[in-house]
Amino acid sequence: MSRPPREFDRRRLMAWMARAGLAAGGLPLAGIAGAWPRNVDPNPKLADYPFTLGVASGDPAVDGFVIWTRIAPRPNEPHGGMAPAPVLVQWEVSEAENFAVLAAQGTALASPELAHSVHVEVGGLRPDRPYFYRFRIAGHVSATGRSRSLPLPHARLDRLRFAVAGCQHYEHGFYTAWRHIAAEPVDFIFHYGDYIYETNEKGDDTITLQGNSYPRARRHNAPEPISLDDYRRRYALGKQDADLQAAHAAAPFWVSFDDHEVDNDWADAVDQDGTPPEVFLYRRAAAFQAYYEHMPLRRQSMPDGPRMAMHRAARYGDLLNGFVLDTRQHRSDQIPGPYYAPITPEVADPRRTMLGAEQEAWLFNALNRSDTRWNLIAQQVMLMHLSLADKATGTQGYNLDRWSGYLHSRRRLLDHIDRACPGNVVTVSGDAHLHYAGDLVQDQGSGKIIASEFLATSISSGADGQGDDTMHSRHALAHNQALKAVCDRRGYVLCDVGREVWHADLKVIDRVTRPDGALSTWRRLAVERGHPGVVPA
Ligand code: FE
Ligand code: CA
């Protein structure tokens, strides 16, 4: 087979694509920058159906969104069963589920350097509309995904619905919660991280978590990941899950990573084992690349070695400005200590940072300028400053991996929210593997309620859990006036934002160690605009 034209030349490209049997009709050539690489395989021999990891969309804009897939006919094998050559993938976007009329289409490069992943930044679409998308290669057609463009920045928007979810340890449980999220009428899904876990649980038929034993749901297929191929294999395993694929196909995601995408409790260039930072950064670079390869992220988030731009903003008409933060990559190292530790002067050292100077300035400036009804701060770790009881010993203390370990950063953030956006900020987070909902107050001072937090439990991490009447939950509620609800079950938070009231349903699954757990709403809570604080709905 001849090589594709090296230089960009419409006529030669069309002729080459025709020879190669590629559908060139309607190819938006204006969108192609330069030429395909010389080694593109025009007739890839795929060992099997290649869309085994599903489709996804994310980072919506007024005129489009990112659509993602990965060509992986044998997803558990190195390179997904692909030869080490780039291939071309066709994509289509339509307002109709049957794709009768196409709103956009094109050809995208899937490179072996990026695990044959495809990230298309679709533009030119109409605002505030649902769209359908799919991919084709070598006679195969992907599943159809559904996405949505953003409303115009100043368009009146009366209602916005989204799910908050994350923490999906593959071995702890089935992804039943994702199947239920896929059926929710949401505009987007915020993923707060722990998309994979690098850790493997010990034990054969049962696993023991914080003193409780649960039936093992599933098993990772490889040791702890270190290299790029290791991390790819872990994403490929999890992304074969039909429930997770259904959620990605149902709505655009705003994704963010937390610690387990790299290593438990990593902070900036420091891992949990004391690896030399310049060495750990190689692992971080491998982990970031695999994360990018498997997420519907824009080119601006493509990693540059161990660095990756992950904080970003989204505006939903005149209703809501959303800010997705990165609380791992730019933070100071954790203060060493027990899981729940006492507060020492060091914890409030102003030199310690959770966001880093640049991200903090970006957020504060954006909040200064914000003129929407609500502001959403979507991040990874608990912002409430809660005295919690160790589940094993009962000792009260603060988790210093969360904002409690970065108290000066927390004080600055809450002060700024109170000045810039009084009464209209709601924060969402995760990581704790329990539902927590409550008020955000300064750790010292008047106790004025500044904002509200809904911390979503986990999709599966923590297995079935212990319910809402535990020593931990009783102590948490008794010691923390700001805390309004806590529950140790798996699930997600469903937010329904109106112009005056923000509703949040705390959804729980009765068990995840067997498939088909039952969904229920454990609590229905609300925040009234102008009156921060979580109240019963
Ligand atoms: Fe987690
Ligand atoms: Ca975490």
Residue 270 is given by DSSP the state B
User: How far apart, in whole angstroms, are the C-alpha atoms of residue 300 and residue 315?
Assistant: 18
477 located within any domain = yes
Beta-carbon contacts of 201 under 8 Å, excluding residues fewer than 6 positions away, are 169, 171, 172, 207, 216
State which of 148, 177, 195 marks the end of a domain. Answer: 148
- Report pTM: 0.94
User: How far apart, in whole angstroms, are the C-alpha atoms of residue 50 and residue 472?
Assistant: 46
pLDDT tens digits, residue range 72-110? 999 999 999 999 999 999 999 999 999 999 999 999 999
153 located within any domain = no
Mean pLDDT, all residues of the chain: 94
State which of 98, 114, 148 marks the end of a domain. Answer: 148
330 located within any domain = yes
**From ligand 2's centre to the CA of 344, what distance in Å?**
23
pLDDT tens digits, residue range 141-184? 999 999 999 999 999 999 999 999 999 999 999 999 999 999 99
Side-chain half-sphere CA neighbours of 86 within 13 A = 17
**From ligand 1's centre to the CA of 37, what distance in Å?**
40
pLDDT tens digits, residue range 346-380? 999 999 999 999 999 999 999 999 999 999 999 99
Q: Which ligand is nearest to the CA of 259?
A: 2
pLDDT tens digits, residue range 9-33? 445 555 555 554 444 333 433 334 4
Same domain assignment for residues 290 and 405: yes
State which of 148, 173, 193 marks the end of a domain. Answer: 148
Residue 254 is encoded by which pair of tokens?
A: 């705003």
Same domain assignment for residues 78 and 208: no
Residue 270 is encoded by which pair of tokens?
A: 């420091």
Same domain assignment for residues 126 and 199: no
Is beta strand 87-94 parallel, antiparallel or unpaired with respect to 160-165? unpaired
Q: Which ligand is nearest to the CA of 197?
A: 1
Give the residue among 359, 371, 454 at the shortest CA–CA distance from 412. 359
Same domain assignment for residues 80 and 179: no
Element (H, E) at 533: strand 531-536
Please answer whether residues 159 and 346 qualify as being in contact, where contact means their C-beta atoms are separated by less than 8 angstroms.
no
Percent of residues in the chain assigned helix, strand, coil, to nearest 5: 20, 30, 50
Query: What range defines the domain where residue 189 resides?
Result: 160-536
Task: Identify residues whose C-beta is under 5 A from ligand 2, the ion.
Answer: 194, 258-259, 431
Q: Considering only CA atoms, give the Rg of the chain.
A: 23
Same domain assignment for residues 110 and 259: no
Same domain assignment for residues 512 and 381: yes
Q: How many structural domains compose the chain?
A: 2
112 located within any domain = yes
Can you tell me which residue has the tokens 């002067």?
A: 345
1 located within any domain = no
Task: Identify residues whose C-beta is under 5 A from ligand 1, the ion.
Answer: 167, 194, 461
pLDDT at 12: 53
Average pLDDT score over residue span 413-440: 98
**From ligand 2's centre to the CA of 140, what distance in Å?**
37
Residue 31 is encoded by which pair of tokens?
A: 């969108």
Instruction: Report the chain's terminal Cα–Cα distance, integer Å.
Output: 65
